[in-house]
Structure formats: C-alpha cells, structure tokens
Structure 1
Amino acid sequence: MSDPADFIDESLQYESSEERAEDYERRLGTGLEYYGASVGAVRGTVRNAERRYPDLGHDDVTALASELWARPVFERRLASVVLLQSSVRLLRHSDLTRIEGFLRSAHIEDLVDPLAVDVVGPLLLRLPGQDGVRARAVLERWAAADDVWLRRAAVLAHLPAFRAGAGDDAFFRRTVRLVSGAQQGRVRAVEDAVALVRASGAG
C-alpha cells in the first residue's frame, strides 16, 4: 500500500473496538469486515492524513480512494468516501466511472448514501458546460441500471441541489421515470430515496 493508505489503515485499526465491530456486523450485515472504529474516528483519521500529506492532487486522491476501497473493510471504505467528500473540488466528470464501481460494490446505505449525497451531488452542482451534461447522462444511465444501489444513488444525487434551491424538477422527474421503468415492483431502497428528495422540495 501507499504511505497514506498505510497511515489510514493503521490508524483505523488502532481505533478498533471488538464490541463496536460486532455491533456493525449485526446492523450492517456479514458482507464486510469491521475493525470497529467509530465514524468520528474515521473522519478524524482522514483529516489527519490530509494534514500529514498536504500535497495530494487529483490523481493521488482518486488512487488513494481506490486503494482504501479495494479491501472489503467497512471503515476503509467509509474513509474512502470521506476522502472524496473533502476533495470534491478536485473531482472531474470522468471520476464517476470510479464512483460507479464503488456504488456497485457498496451494498449498504451507510456507504451508498454519502457517496450519492456528499460526493456525486456536489460534483454535479459544480461541473460546468459539457462536463455537466456528460455527468447528467451518467446519472440517467444509473437510473436505468439493473443495480438497485445505482438507482438509489441516481435519485439521491439530486438532494444537494434541491436543498440549495437549485434543483431541476424536469431532470428529477426524468430520473424517477427511468428508475420506475428499470425495476419490477416496489423497491423500498429506491422508493425511500424518491420520497426523501421530494420532501426537500422536488416536484
């Protein structure tokens, strides 16, 4: 692993708690490993890493995010999300391909939702011109995907815009139509996301 990834992983293991790891496993399921570090400790570890390695550019950040995500450990993957959250200003529309891979393998709302709301949504808000058009096209592809977590993310990514008073009702309604056409029957994970965005002011 790279030095930043080693630093983050070692810090997370230092913050581990067997009791908390067992609680995570009961609540989130057995598909991941758990160190048992608190969410606050994960956020603090990423802040410490950013202070320790202050010159991380776009390529460094995205490579580090992938490196952390590569092992199916909840706290490592959450650290990857937190890193992307704090580095949204560096991200590009092309990074949505990498994020799509994360979403497909996330499988739990605790990882999918912050990726959608705190990474993809703010990225869409700041992308200009053709980059913004391309990003919206990616979101529409997610909305029509066979993966429920991509559909949920496509919906939730609208939330930051509506919270900021800059939501696009027509775009949101198209997303909902695509999501509805892609799934058979009711899917609670997606329906809950649609209700949440509508509660924020979406048409």
Structure 2
Amino acid sequence: MTLPAAELIDRTLQAEGTPVRAGSEAERIGGGLRFYGASVGAVRGAVRDALRRHPGLTHDEMTALASLLWSEPVFERRLAAIVLLQGHVAMLRGNDLTRLEQFLRDARVDELVDPLVADVVRPLLERLDGAEATRARRIVHRWASDPILRRAAALL
C-alpha cells in the first residue's frame, strides 16, 4: 500500500512543479537537493489526496511511506514526508526517534530540519514517559555534540 501512495505523491509533485520555481528554490535553498518546483500547498495537497486514496495507514505503513518519500534527495518529497509525519505524530513511538535522527542527518537544509524538529520530534518527545523518555533524552543529549545534529538539538 505504501508504494502506490509514494508513487502518487511523487507524480503529483512532479506535475505541480514548474522549472522556474524549481530553479529559484534550488538557488535559495540549495543543499545539493533536487527540486520539482511544487509549492508547499501542492505538497500538502498531494499528501492529503494520497491519504484519501489510501486511508487507515498503520504505524508501519505510515513510517514506511515517510521513508520511501525521504529516500530520494528531492526537497518536495522530503517535505511531503514531514507533512505526513506531522499529521500522524500521535502514531509515532519512542523507537521512531532513530528513523527521525536519520532523516535529520540527511536533511541537508534548515528548511527541512526546522519543521521536522518543531512539528514531529518535539511533539514526540513531549509525549514520551518512563524508560522511553529517558532513552530519548540520552539520544537528544548526544545530538548536541554532533555537528550535523547540533541545530536539531538546539531547536528542542
């Protein structure tokens, strides 16, 4: 189920993009990412439409879909993964922090790091308790000394 949803989102983003916007965004954001030139509204709409066509995603399907979207270094795909996670943050578990850490390592640009931290990682951390919270605090504490993850740690 997640592969068809990822393909639908990708096709929609490509169709919604324009070369002019792609060039402008690549120049403004950079980070070695590719850009389709789709607007933020188009990204949100693509995710919403895919979820309508593929309702009732389980935790594993949702995280697999986010990983599929993130797997290509395309800004709009990665933004779509963040939008998906934002809408399903209540489904995330403490052990998903490992996947989110990898996303942060691969993000390359603040325009992906900032919403991922603010709208996904922070709400996840706030929900955790007990042993999960203790483990998560250790992980985030480690981020502060990692040059790639330092910004993420500072935003928390």
Residue 146 (structure 1) shift = 3.3
> Equivalent residues in 2 for 1:44-59 (5 A)?
44-59=45-60
**Offset of 1:112 from its aligned partner?**
0.4
Contact between 2:125 and 2:133, CA under 8 Å: does it hold in 1?
yes
Q: Does 1:153 align with 2:152?
A: yes
Once the two structures are TM-superposed, the CA of residue 52 in structure 1 deviates from its matched residue by 1.4
Q: Deviations over 1:153-193 (max 9, x none)?
A: 11212xxxxxxxxxxxxxxxxxxxxxxxxxxxxxxxxxxxx
Residue 30 of structure 1, CA deviation: 5.6
Within a 5 Å distance, the mapping from 1:43-192 to structure 2 comes to: 43-147=44-148, 150-157=149-156
In structure 1, C-alpha distance between the alignment counterparts of 2:50 and 2:130, rounded to whole Å: 33
Q: Where does residue 186 of structure 1 map in the other structure? A: none
Amino acid at match of 1:28: I
Moved more, 128-137 or 81-90: 128-137
Q: Which of the two has higher C-alpha Rg?
A: 1
Instruction: Measure the CA separation in 1 of the matches of 2:147 and 2:19.
Output: 36
- Separation of aligned partners in 1, 2:98 and 2:22: 31
- Residues in 2 aligned to 1:154 and 1:59: alpha-carbon distance in whole angstroms: 26
Q: 1:121 to 1:18 in 2, by over 3 A?
A: same
Q: Deviations over 1:2-25 (max 9, x none)?
A: 101011001111101111101101
Instruction: Give the paired residue count.
Output: 155
CA contact (8 A) 2:31 2:109 kept: no
After superposing on structure 2, the runs of 4+ consecutive aligned residues of structure 1 that deviate more than 3 Å are none
% identical equivalent positions: 57
Contact residue 31 and residue 108 of structure 2 kept, 8 A:
no
Q: Which residue of 2 aligns with 1:191?
A: none
Amino acid at match of 2:119: D
Is the alpha carbon distance of 1:142 and 1:30 closer, same or farther for their aligned partners in structure 2, counting shifts above 3 Å?
closer
Residue 128 of structure 1, CA deviation: 2.1
Q: RMSD value over aligned CA atoms?
A: 1.2
For structure 2, the residue ranges without an aligned partner over 5 or more in a row are: none
CA distance in 1, matches of 2:26, 2:74: 11
The 3-state SS of whatever aligns with 1:2 is helix
